[in-house]
C-alpha cells in the first residue's frame, strides 16, 4: 500500500499530476479541487494516495490531506460509485459540504455531481449516513458541541426551515447554523439573522 508520495511535480494534466520521486514518475489521479491548488511545475508536494487494484486496472488516486482521502475511501464503498465517480463528486462538492449533504439528506446537492443521479445520491446517503461524524472533521466548526434546551433546538429548526424557504439548500443552511453561537435565549428570528450573516461567507 502506498500511503503517500512526496516528490516534485513533473506534469499537471487535465485529471492527474505526475510526481517524480527517486527517479520514477508516478501518475496520480486527483479531483479538480486538488488541481486548482497545485503549485508550479518543479515544486515539491506531498499527496496522500489510494492504490486502486483490479485485474485490468492499477491506478493511484490522490489528495492533499488525509481527510479528503478518508471521504474518498468511504465513497467507493457505495455500490455503483467507483473511483472515477468519487473523484467527480469531490471535484464538485467539498468534503465538508458533502458531509452536510449526507447528514441533511440533501439529494439535490449530491446529485449535482457529474454522473450521479437521484437514485445513486439516495443510495449514497443511506449507506454513509451512519459512517459520517461531522463534529470530528469540520475545520471551522466549534471545538465542542453545545447542548441546547428544547426551546433553543426548536428555534434552531424553525430557522433552518426558514432558510430553506428563502431558497437555500439544507446543506447551506446547516453549514451556516453550525457557525453560529446559539444560546438557549435566542429566538428563531435571532438565529435566522445570525445564520444569514454566516451564509455569505460560505
136-192 tens-digit pLDDT: 444 444 333 333 444 567 788 888 888 888 888 877 888 888 888 888 888 888 999
**What pLDDT is stored for residue 148 in this prediction?**
42
**What pLDDT is stored for residue 139 in this prediction?**
45
Give 10-69 pLDDT, tens digit per residue: 999 999 999 999 999 999 999 998 998 999 999 999 999 999 998 888 899 999 999 899
> In this structure, are 83 and 131 located in the same domain?
yes
In a domain, 45, yes or no: yes
> In this structure, are 59 and 86 located in the same domain?
no
In a domain, 38, yes or no: yes
> In this structure, are 75 and 119 located in the same domain?
yes
Q: Show the domain range for 91.
A: 67-137
pLDDT band at 202; cut points 50, 70, 90: low
> In this structure, are 26 and 54 located in the same domain?
yes
> In this structure, are 130 and 72 located in the same domain?
yes
Backbone angles phi, psi at 46, to 5 degrees: -115, 125
Stronger pLDDT, 134 or 175, i.e. the higher one = 175
Q: Where are the alpha helices (DSSP H) in the chain?
A: 32-35, 66-75, 83-92, 95-103, 107-110, 118-128, 134-137, 150-165, 170-178, 188-199
Closest by CA position to 134, among listed 157, 101, 160? 101
> In this structure, are 72 and 133 located in the same domain?
yes
Closest by CA position to 17, among listed 56, 64, 55, 58? 64
Among 63, 91, 113, residue at a domain's last position: 63
**CATH at residue 15:** 2.40.50.140
Instruction: Give the number of domains in the chain.
Output: 3
**CATH at residue 79:** 1.10.150.20
**What pLDDT is stored for residue 134 in this prediction?**
54
Which residue's entry shows cell 428555534? 155
> In this structure, are 130 and 71 located in the same domain?
yes
**Can you tell me the distance from the alpha carbon of 77 to that of 100, in angstroms, rounded to the nearest whole number?**
19
> In this structure, are 133 and 72 located in the same domain?
yes
Among 21, 41, 63, residue at a domain's last position: 63
Reported residue count of the chain is: 202
> In this structure, are 72 and 129 located in the same domain?
yes
**CATH at residue 173:** 1.10.8
**What pLDDT is stored for residue 133 in this prediction?**
67
Give 59-110 pLDDT, tens digit per residue: 999 999 998 999 999 999 999 899 999 999 999 998 888 988 898 889 999 9
Which residue's entry shows cell 508520495? 5
**Can you tell me the distance from the alpha carbon of 132 to that of 74, in angstroms, rounded to the nearest whole number?**
9
Among 84, 113, 137, residue at a domain's last position: 137
**What pLDDT is stored for residue 26 in this prediction?**
97
In a domain, 159, yes or no: yes
Q: 73 with 89: CB under 8 angstroms?
A: no
Stronger pLDDT, 116 or 183, i.e. the higher one = 116
Amino acid at each position: 500500500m502506498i500511503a503517500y508520495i512526496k516528490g516534485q511535480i513533473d506534469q499537471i494534466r487535465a485529471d492527474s499530476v505526475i510526481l517524480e520521486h527517486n527517479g520514477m514518475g508516478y501518475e496520480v489521479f486527483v479531483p479538480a479541487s486538488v488541481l486548482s491548488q497545485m503549485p508550479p511545475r518543479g515544486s515539491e508536494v506531498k499527496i496522500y494516495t489510494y492504490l486502486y487494484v483490479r485485474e485490468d486496472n492499477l491506478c493511484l488516486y490522490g489528495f492533499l490531506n488525509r481527510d479528503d482521502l478518508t471521504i474518498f475511501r468511504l465513497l467507493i464503498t457505495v455500490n455503483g460509485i467507483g473511483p472515477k465517480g468519487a473523484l467527480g463528486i469531490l471535484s464538485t462538492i467539498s468534503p465538508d459540504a458533502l458531509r452536510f449533504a449526507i447528514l441533511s439528506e440533501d439529494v439535490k446537492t449530491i446529485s449535482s455531481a457529474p454522473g450521479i443521479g437521484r437514485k445513486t445520491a439516495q443510495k449514497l446517503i443511506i449507506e454513509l449516513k451512519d459512517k459520517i461524524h461531522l463534529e470530528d472533521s469540520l475545520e471551522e466548526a466549534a471545538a465542542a458541541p453545545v447542548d441546547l434546551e428544547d426551546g433553543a433546538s426548536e428555534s434552531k429548526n424553525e430557522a433552518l426551515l426558514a432558510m430553506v424557504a428563502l431558497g437555500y439548500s439544507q446543506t447551506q443552511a446547516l453549514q451556516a447554523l453550525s457557525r453560529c453561537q446559539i444560546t438557549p435565549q435566542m429566538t428563531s428570528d435571532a438565529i435566522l439573522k445570525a445564520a444569514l450573516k454566516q451564509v455569505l461567507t460560505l
